[in-house]
Amino acid sequence: MDRDFVNSFLDSTSNVLATMAAMDFSVGHPRFKKEELPISNITGMIAMSSPQAVGTLVISFTEPVILSLASRMLMETVDEINGEVIDLVGELTNMVTGGAKRVLEEKGFDFDMATPVVIQGENQQITQFSNGPTIVVPYSTDAGDFYVEICFEAIDS
Amino acid sequence: MDRDFVNSFLDSTSNVLATMAAMDFSVGHPRFKKEELPISNITGMIAMSSPQAVGTLVISFTEPVILSLASRMLMETVDEINGEVIDLVGELTNMVTGGAKRVLEEKGFDFDMATPVVIQGENQQITQFSNGPTIVVPYSTDAGDFYVEICFEAIDS
């Protein structure tokens, strides 16, 4: 995975956050995932495949961060992870992946997107099985940090 | 999703359980997922895509069931969800999906498989976002029940 590839997801996440949630945030340095991330409460993911590569985008939130994000997006105070919040994580995951897909298309990658899956729960730890590296991008917000994980492997042709 | 399609996953799950874990189990009736399943502790999933359809297979276990399954497969007592158990759920998910892929190929579906993702945590609830239905197949074992969920949507061509 080259920097351009990672940046497609990073830029798309930043775009979605800024336009949909009008949220202040800072983006940390992308790094290889070597140990488990801090535990989270809700995770959205979408697999993507192209003739060149296959992989998954994962976005993982703690409860305080997703409630803050949901409150901004829904323009009302949201104080629990309910069905509306689950839908919103599905939608966010879809928007981020869709945005990255469009940028990657310009770079010669023609990705198909699978459908989003959202898992809610406590103390979540995510493991991706792949021959490729998992890259983690940390985002900091007023309500805490959250993480975008991308993991792709090249397809032998 | 027709019965044949669902049965490909169901047969593959049963094969993997019988051959890899030598486990006694009974298979319940496949049903449409209308409400959340009982909560689980570890979930494996793989997205699949073909020119005709896109979707995800999800296998979700409570702690007692996965520890019983892991103890059988690893031929030693496993009393916590550790890294080895996480790997095993990734592998099981892969084997079930791979088996179904081969059967579906004979039926004219040429699916690409994404890479497996495993999420560990407490009180997991899974939501698939799709235009297609989510079908749930319950399996009963001595240690409790577990669930296979398949959710596919047709691709407009």
pLDDT in tens, B69-99: 999 999 999 999 999 999 999 999 999 999 9
- Biggest alpha carbon distance in chain B? 50
The answer, yes or no, to whether residue B157 has pLDDT greater than 70, is no
What residues of A are in contact with residue B47 (Cβ under 8 Å)?
Answer: 46-47, 49, 56, 114-115, 117
The string of pLDDT tens digits covering residues B27-60 is 999 999 887 777 889 999 999 998 889 999 999 9
The string of pLDDT tens digits covering residues A12-63 is 999 998 888 888 899 999 999 887 777 889 999 999 998 889 999 999 999 9
- How far apart (Å, rounded) are the C-alpha atoms in residues B49 and B23? 30
* Closest listed residue to residue A90, CA positions, set B12, B127, B2: B127
Contact A123 B121 (CB under 8 A): yes
CATH number at residue A22: 3.40.1550.10
Counting Cβ atoms within 10 Å, is residue A31 exposed (0-12), middle (13-18) or buried (19+)? exposed
Question: For B114, which of A39, A49, A90 is closest by C-beta distance?
Answer: A49
For position B13, what pLDDT does the model report? Answer: 93
E runs forming strands in chain B: 26-27, 31-32, 40-49, 53-61, 112-113, 117-128, 134-141, 144-154
The answer, yes or no, to whether residue B3 has pLDDT greater than 90, is no
- How far apart (Å, rounded) are the C-alpha atoms in residues A68 and A65? 5
pTM: 0.92
The rounded percent of chain B whose pLDDT value lies above 70 is 97
For position A51, what pLDDT does the model report? Answer: 86
Nearest chain B CA: its distance from A81 CA (Å):
11
Three-state DSSP at B29 gives coil
Question: For A153, which of B115, B129, B151 is closest by C-beta distance?
Answer: B115
What residues of B are in contact with residue A126 (Cβ under 8 Å)?
Answer: 117-119
Number of separate domains in chain B: 1
The answer, yes or no, to whether residue A117 has pLDDT greater than 90, is yes
**Structural domain of residue A31, as residue ranges?**
3-154
Question: For A115, which of B46, B54, B87 is closest by C-beta distance?
Answer: B54
For residue B131, give both structure tokens.
């235009």
